[in-house]
Structure 1
């Protein structure tokens, strides 16, 4: 099934972004709502991936070059949408002359990010009670 990925607008696409993140992080992973939404929402570049006309994945790039809030609806996992979304975010960062990007990967997803060219930096730490690892990728 074809997938389209586009730069989203927080003001007009907020409902779609929130719907995906609430399903994945708040409902599935039990992340407290007050930890899911932060002061980076309005200043970040958000991305949406669609199957047909349905938004199924999202992610964001902060002004500091941090990729985050990568979420793919459960029914759309395992078919490469996350990898394509991550690549689109990295390409956008490169277009904006970022030398590198970084993220806080949930530890169970470390292999996914390694395959996308990220490298581990530092030790495991916890966010929202979930083990994470900092990872970086050079864009040069």
Structure 2
């Protein structure tokens, strides 16, 4: 994140001018959202996150609508009005704002969060653990999709899009180590551009992924793009093939990080499973179960020889 950036939760009455300076620039002038849609009666009742540059100028905003106002029937808070001035995008401002809003929700005991993500930033929210739900839709003339996050408990992953979001979340949460147990490099998941980009970023920041496979030949025959990435970043990715009959009968698949994130699928050939990003106990259990299987498995030397 940019040095000296200050992000705080603020009251609307104290910071309205700063909040609207950013929101007007992004929503009204840049995106063409009608003013009557951008401003509403909820603002004074919400908690707001405000990002200030080193000179004290506002550069980013977001708001948290309390559950009893956002959706009383579902008892979930809603994050919205996320906006960052163009010169500050890609510098960690949005991440800091979202972390501040999620932290505020947790502090207030609001465990269920939702938001309407603009289509270009769906992956951004996925990296923070929000899972997509339902079809895309138009709101204020812009394509959106509903996304949800449940704090302090595992979330159900039910769709292919949800599985992709779960991978992005775990990869973003990892510090240096990943343990991956896969049947055949998960076609439809580990071969998708957003996940490959996240794996490349993980490698570039010094990460190391150990990947156990039950069927390396299937991945090799399918020209799985992760194999090519691993050849370009051999210090970041290490593959082994499961050969012990008991290990080969294991039906599940998972990824576990060194920071408490995990995505577990009971049936490894399906997308459905559970995700959580702050459960060190379960993540450690998966990594401990991974170790003896890794020791019994053979190195996938055929991957190193494959010329992609």
TM-score, normalization by structure 2: 0.45
Aligned residue for 2:24? Answer: 22
Whether 2:86 is the aligned partner of 1:93: answer no
Matched, 1:117 2:144: no
Equivalent residue, structure 1, for 2:4: 2
Q: Please give the residue correspondences for 1:18-97 in structure 2 after superposition, counting only pairs within 5 Å.
A: 18-52=20-54, 53-64=56-67, 65-97=77-109
SS at match of 2:45: coil
Residue segments in structure 2 that go unaligned for 5+ positions in a row: 68-76, 153-308
The offset of 1:7, in angstroms, is: 1.2
CA contact under 8 A between 2:129 and 2:149: conserved in structure 1? yes
* Cα separation, 2, equivalents of 1:11 and 1:91: 21
| Residue ranges of structure 1 left out of the alignment (5+ in a row) | none
Number of residues paired by the alignment? 140
Bigger radius of gyration, 1 or 2?
Answer: 2
For 2:25 and 2:8, how far apart are their aligned partners in 1? Answer: 20
What whole-Å deviation, never above 9, does each CA across 1:69-105 have from its counterpart, x for those lacking one?
0000111111111011101100110111112211000
Q: How does 1:118-137 map to 2 (within 5 A)?
A: 118-137=130-149
Distance 1:122 1:35 in 2: 23
CA–CA separation in structure 1 for the residues paired with 2:150 and 2:39 = 27
State the 1:11 CA deviation: 1.2
Larger % of helix: which? Answer: 2
Whole-angstrom CA distance in 2 between matches of 1:75 and 1:45? 25
Match of 1:87, SS? helix
Deviations 1:39-74 (A, max 9, x none): 211111111011111111000000121000000011
Quick one: distance in 1 between partners of 2:126 and 2:66? 23
Greater per-residue strand proportion: 1
Inter-partner Cα distance in structure 1 for 2:40 and 2:139:
13
> TM-score with structure 1 length normalisation?
0.97
Of structures 1 and 2, the one with the larger relative CO (CA 8 A, separation 6+) is: 1
* Maintained 8 Å contact 2:21/2:58: no
4+ aligned runs moved over 4 Å, structure 1:
none
